[in-house]
Chains A and B, each alone.
Chain A
Amino acid sequence: MNIEDVEKLAELARIELSADEKKSLLKDFDSILAYVDTIKGAEIGDGDVKPDLYNVWREDWVEPREFSRESIVGQFPEEEAGYLKVKKIL
């Protein structure tokens, strides 16, 4: 990994980093990847794992809930007439 890789990942993850942070993350990644690379020694066949998980769906039903609208709206950084105000997308 190099500094450009760290920058690319930060861009994908939408995280602003300072130049120092990039350098220190690069150092950390080198040691973490060296550790997790030990899995390369595990002898595992090529076949895919069949997960023993399955999707769980439930029916929709109507039920009163004690959600507080004020509590949710009150936490918006910016609101107008009870709506969340965001920057323009396009």
Chain B
Amino acid sequence: MIDLGILTIEKAHQALTEGVFSCQELLDEYLKVIREKNKELNAYLEVYGDIAEQAAQAQKKFKESTAELLTGIPFAIKDNILFSGHTASAGSKILENYKAPYDSFVIRELKKAGAVIIGRTNMDEFAMGSSTQTSAYGVARNPHDPSRVPGGSSGGSAVAVAAGMALVSLGTETCGSVREPAAFCGLVGLKPTYGAVSRNGIIAMGNSLDQVSPFGKTVRDAEIVFRTLSQYDPEDSTSVPEKLRKIKKSELGPKVIGVPWHLFEKGVDSEVMANFKESMEKFKKSDYEIRDIELPFSKYSLAAYYIIMPAEVSTNLSRFDGIRYGLHKEGKNLMEVYKKSRGRGFGEEARRRILLGTYVLSHGYYDAYYNKAVKIRDQIKKEIREAFKTVDLIATPTAPMLPFKIGEKMDDPVAMYLCDLFSAPANLSGVPSIALPSGLSKNNLPLSIQFMAPAFAEEVLFEAGKKFEEIR
């Protein structure tokens, strides 16, 4: 009997190396939990048919002593990550039967390492949402309280790890889609620096924002996955070459945490706020300096995001037209085929964002919306870069609220968007950010704080995260 609750990548690796259990036995433990819980929690949309073969391949690596840290480690992947020969539907009806003809960069790396990819997980349609309620395949549920949402859009990948249905998992972030579900499910979620992990083979939402992002129970697990995937890929033009990734090693000794208190004076749940303050106190007692900082343009982050992202969505999703793959609806002429296929194939939120994006890019509105948002984004980038001249980390709560009830916020898009209020600055400016579990509320719901660090300074996030695991 393996205790999945305390299992980490390193512990599993050691046990697999020593032969305490085999790759198949480890996989079987997770499959047992999946059989027991997936029906209710709806984390996996599909458990792949070739997992026994994957486990056998991994076992061979142990036999031949070519095993790496991730060999035999059971992964769950979000439904928008291409895995050759397997369905990838991005949580949408329009791609219901779409089979990936090639591997994404991240899958190629996981295969090389011999990881076992159990299946694809539930998500908001095309990653558009903060609660996994816009999925065309039903809502996913929070394992801490199944009447509540797990967050989103990578909700299925979060639930898989939190409920013991995978050891680690991959999600994607465009604006908080890993950090917010990590917060709601009591996990560590890392949004890497934009350009650190290749987007090749990921079904795009907002190209200037998207980034593959890992979930783990511990900082170290997220770190191991990140280190494996963070590599230059010439096939993603926004992948950053190795020589540009080097950062100045910050001085050892006490670290300075900047807190932009003015960004969350109101609109934050009182328990979340009290927990954040307590967490900062704990850092203070551990020789971190807490400094008040001002980020005047960052208060426009989420509004600017809800212009830039739909603009990118409206152009990106124009490729789904019912002609080459995916849902196809017949019509009298080509135009009718497009309109019917897209009208039936896309769910409500996808349609909303496509139309909104079309609006902000249209003649007469472009300057007032898109152009202005791009300028604000530029100012946000500058002020965050500037702030990191005086602080090592920037801290905020991860999400302004606790996990909410299923059904909530579905008829109020703006209320849903506000879940990612504190996520937007990192995505817009490209800097890395980590969500860390910071305790439980009085109703036993997970609480979370997040840090941002300068571009390619993930190391600083891991260091602070590990410190917090000791002192929280």
Contact A16 B379 (CB under 8 A): no
A12 within 8 A of partner (CB) = yes
Q: Closest chain A residue to B346 by CB distance?
A: A15
Contacts of B324 in A (CB 8 A): 75-77, 84
Contact A89 B334 (CB under 8 A): yes
When the two chains form the complex, which single residue of A10, A44, A74, A76 contacts B355, counting CB atoms closer than 8 Å? A10
- Report if A16-B340 is in contact (Cβ < 8 Å); known contacts: A42-B297, A49-B375, A67-B101: yes
Contact B297 A28 (CB under 8 A): no
Contacts of A16 in B (CB 8 A): 339-340, 342-344
Roughly how many angstroms separate A89 CA and B236 CA in the complex, as a whole number?
Answer: 33
> How far in angstroms is the closest Cβ of chain A from B412?
7
When the two chains form the complex, which single residue of B326, B372, B413 contacts A31, counting CB atoms closer than 8 Å? B413
Contacts of A41 in B (CB 8 A): 300
Contact A67 B334 (CB under 8 A): no
Q: Closest chain B residue to A77 by CB distance?
A: B328
Contact A58 B352 (CB under 8 A): no
Interface-centre pick from A37, A39, A48, A86 (highest chain B CB count, 10 A): A39
B256 within 8 A of partner (CB) = no
> How far in angstroms is the closest Cβ of chain A from B409?
12
Q: Closest chain A residue to B236 by CB distance?
A: A56
Contacts of A28 in B (CB 8 A): 352, 413
Contacts of B412 in A (CB 8 A): 31
Interface-centre pick from B337, B359, B374 (highest chain A CB count, 10 A): B359
Contacts of A84 in B (CB 8 A): 323-324
Roughly how many angstroms separate A42 CA and B318 CA in the complex, as a whole number?
Answer: 31
Within 8 A of B (CB), among A52-90: 55-56, 58, 65-68, 71-72, 74-78, 84, 86-89
Roughly how many angstroms separate A17 CA and B228 CA in the complex, as a whole number?
Answer: 45
Roughly how many angstroms separate A74 CA and B98 CA in the complex, as a whole number?
Answer: 10
Contact B417 A35 (CB under 8 A): yes
- Report if A87-B333 is in contact (Cβ < 8 Å); known contacts: A44-B375, A49-B374: yes
Contact A14 B378 (CB under 8 A): no
Q: Closest chain B residue to A49 by CB distance?
A: B378
Contacts of B348 in A (CB 8 A): 21
B325 within 8 A of partner (CB) = yes
Contact B355 A36 (CB under 8 A): no
> How far in angstroms is the closest Cβ of chain B from A20?
11
Q: Which 4 A-B pairs have the closest CB atoms?
A: A16-B343, A77-B328, A56-B237, A75-B325
Besides A36-B369, A42-B376, A68-B85, 7 new A-B residue pairs in contact (Cβ under 8 A), listed by A number: A14-B338, A29-B359, A42-B379, A71-B99, A72-B101, A75-B97, A78-B328
Question: What are 13 contact pairs spanning A and B, CB under 8 A?
Answer: A13-B314, A15-B346, A29-B355, A31-B412, A31-B414, A39-B369, A39-B373, A44-B375, A49-B378, A75-B97, A75-B99, A87-B333, A89-B334
